[in-house]
Amino acid sequence: MAKELPGYGTIDVPKDREVPFGAVTPAPVCVQNLFQTSNWRIVRPVKDDEKCTRCLICYLSCPDACWVYKEEEDVMEWINNFCKGCQICIQECPSGALTAVPELDFPDGVVRLDKPF
């Protein structure tokens, strides 16, 4: 679809790249590892299952959609590939079920170096 833009001339946008009217774009249908952003996190949220009330505040407050509610199991699951460690979910949790734990406390911590500086 060719669009005439003042000062830019004509721009040809492929049909599969067009943005729908109103700039509403469809949600991705799968996890795209290209956008993995957890490599600078220094703390991660750890959930205490006994304190968690499944109020979904962590799900609603996370700017990176790192929390998923699994309805059939009635559990909140944390997706670590996209968590930046901003701690918003921890601060917003009304039941205190989330705590910040340093990445170096985990064997798969993301801030590990092969050799020191």
pLDDT in tens, the chain (117 residues): 555 656 666 667 787 777 666 655 555 566 666 667 777 788 999 999 999 999 999 999 998 888 988 889 988 999 888 888 999 999 999 999 999 999 888 887 765 555 554
User: In this structure, which topology does domain 2-105 adopt according to CATH?
Assistant: Alpha-Beta Plaits (3.30.70)
Q: Name the residue ranges covered by the structural domains of the chain.
A: 2-105
- Convert the chain into a string of H (helix), E (strand) and C (coil): CEEEECCCEEEECCHHHCCCCCCCCCCCCCCCHHHCCHHHCCEEEEECCCCCCCCCHHHHHCCCCCEEEECCCCEEEECCCCCCCCCHHHHHCCCCCEEEEEHHHCCCCCCCCCCCC
The overall pTM is greater than 0.85: no
